[in-house]
């Protein structure tokens, strides 16, 4: 029997040879779903095989967030890591200096942000070239990716994005707004208040390719086949990314892409802007804890993420502590008046001061 890689190649070839139109949509949808499912299996096998020892790739996540630095060999990733963290990553002007994951810790605005420098990513990484599958495995666990090249290889950023996307890592994209409620019988029911370009027959075929034969499927946005498959796939991760162009001290900022941040890791240019962008993209906020007998102040900060609640703050202090709390008093931010009592479902925000009371 052919292995997974061979089967993947055969399906990809069939998709390439099949012209896309309404008459072939159903067939191509099934092929792409089958392809995605095979890639899920392949990725799952890679993750499991690397999970134990990891050969230097099993890095424990520490701090308030984890950032992974992705780029081609010799782009200056190690220099950047050494400039912004406490890491001591070996630096040399030849490819593949970094042969394992090097962690560093950036302390910024009270947050401890772990930055991981991984081996340079090359074309074909998703196929295993240059330790590519191991690097991609680390990238999948990131809270943020720094995708970096240099002024002489700006086009490489697009190549890196292709490698990441093909490995199921969705860059700067939201999750598809699709609700799938599995049932024990009754077949498939598809709901959408939005006119879809993909037919219900194709949606049903894709669902069944993923082994879902009885369910209510609700589509809350207009979806392409690719986004629809993403909604069913178990391997997709959605990670924000910042694009960096390094070594601008050598050729300046001319002709740089508008969506990238120009830096010089060697000279330190643009690094303060980089730190602020990291903070913003990680959606971090500082909340201040107020002890029972203290006046509200900014003496006891704790780092949280936008979208989290006061309940999450209580649980971060300690699981037992969080279980016993139901109300809090707040100051600053959106408090209607100093010491307002609120339920723990209230979302955190920058500068909020909180005292848990019951």
Are 201 and 315 within one domain?
no
What's the pTM?
Answer: 0.84
Are 76 and 218 within one domain?
no
- How far is Cα 299 from Cα 330, in angstroms, rounded to an integer? 15
Segment 305-314 shows an average pLDDT of 95
Q: How many domains does the chain have?
A: 3
Query: 237-239 and 241-246: which strand pairing?
Result: unpaired
The domain that contains 291 carries what CATH number? 3.10.20.30
Are 293 and 215 within one domain?
no
DSSP 8-state secondary structure symbol assigned to residue 125: G
Please report which helix (H) or strand (E) contains residue 8, including its range: helix 4-17
Are 263 and 289 within one domain?
no
Supply the pLDDT for residue 1: 42
Are 96 and 200 within one domain?
no
Are 159 and 207 within one domain?
no
Residue 97 belongs to what domain range?
54-173+237-281
Structure tokens at 69: 């630095």
- Cβ(289)–Cβ(309) below 8 Å: no
pLDDT at 349 over 90: yes
Among residues 170, 123, 131, which one has the least CA distance to residue 149? 123
How many CB atoms sit inside 10 A of residue 16's CB?
A: 7
Are 199 and 257 within one domain?
no
Are 67 and 142 within one domain?
yes
- Cβ(176)–Cβ(221) below 8 Å: yes
Per-residue pLDDT band for 79 (boundaries 50, 70, 90) equals very high
Are 105 and 248 within one domain?
yes
Are 46 and 181 within one domain?
yes
pLDDT tens string 102-158 = 889 999 999 999 999 988 776 665 666 656 677 888 899 999 999 999 998 888 899
CA 287 to chain centre: 24
Domain termination residue (choose one: 232, 254, 273): 232
Spatial CB neighbours of 99, under 8 Å, sequence gap ≥ 6: 56, 119
Spatial CB neighbours of 284, under 8 Å, sequence gap ≥ 6: 64, 65, 109, 111, 303, 304, 305, 306
Q: Interior CA angle at 331 toward 329 and 335, to 5°? A: 90
Least confident of 54-58, 150-154, 246-250, 348-352: 54-58
């Amino acid at each position: 029997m052919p292995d997974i890689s061979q089967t993947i190649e055969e399906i990809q070839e069939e998709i390439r040879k099949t012209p896309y139109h309404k008459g072939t949509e159903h067939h191509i949808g099934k092929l792409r779903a089958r392809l995605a499912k095979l890639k899920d299996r392949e990725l799952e096998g890679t993750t499991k095989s690397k999970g134990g020892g990891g050969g230097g790739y099993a890095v424990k996540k520490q701090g308030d967030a984890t950032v992974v630095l992705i780029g081609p060999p010799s782009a200056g990733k190690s220099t950047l890591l050494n400039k912004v963290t406490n890491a001591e990553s070996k630096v040399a002007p030849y490819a593949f200096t970094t042969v394992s994951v090097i962690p560093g810790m950036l302390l910024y605005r009270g947050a401890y942000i772990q930055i991981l420098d991984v081996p340079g990513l090359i074309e074909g990484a998703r196929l295993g070239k240059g330790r590519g599958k191991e690097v991609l495995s680390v990238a999948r666990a990131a809270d943020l990716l720094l995708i970096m090249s240099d002024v002489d290889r700006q086009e490489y950023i697009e190549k890196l994005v292709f490698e990441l996307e093909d490995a199921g890592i969705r860059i700067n994209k939201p999750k598809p707004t699709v609700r799938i409620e599995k049932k024990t019988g009754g077949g498939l029911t598809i709901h959408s208040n939005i006119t879809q370009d993909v037919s219900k027959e194709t949606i049903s075929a894709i669902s069944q390719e993923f082994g879902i034969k009885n369910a209510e499927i609700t589509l809350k946005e207009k979806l392409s086949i690719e986004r629809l498959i993403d909604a069913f796939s178990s391997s997709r991760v959605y990670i924000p990314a910042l694009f960096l162009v390094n070594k601008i001290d050598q050729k300046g900022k001319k002709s740089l892409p508008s969506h990238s941040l120009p830096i010089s890791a060697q000279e330190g240019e643009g690094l303060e802007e980089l730190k602020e962008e990291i903070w913003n993209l990680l959606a971090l906020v500082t909340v201040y804890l107020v002890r029972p007998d203290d006046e509200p102040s900014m003496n006891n900060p704790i780092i949280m993420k936008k979208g989290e609640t006061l309940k999450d703050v209580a649980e971060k202090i300690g699981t037992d502590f969080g279980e016993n709390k139901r109300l809090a008093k707040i100051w600053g931010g959106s408090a209607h008046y100093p010491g307002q009592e609120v339920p723990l479902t209230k979302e955190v925000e920058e500068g909020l001061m909180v005292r848990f009371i019951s």
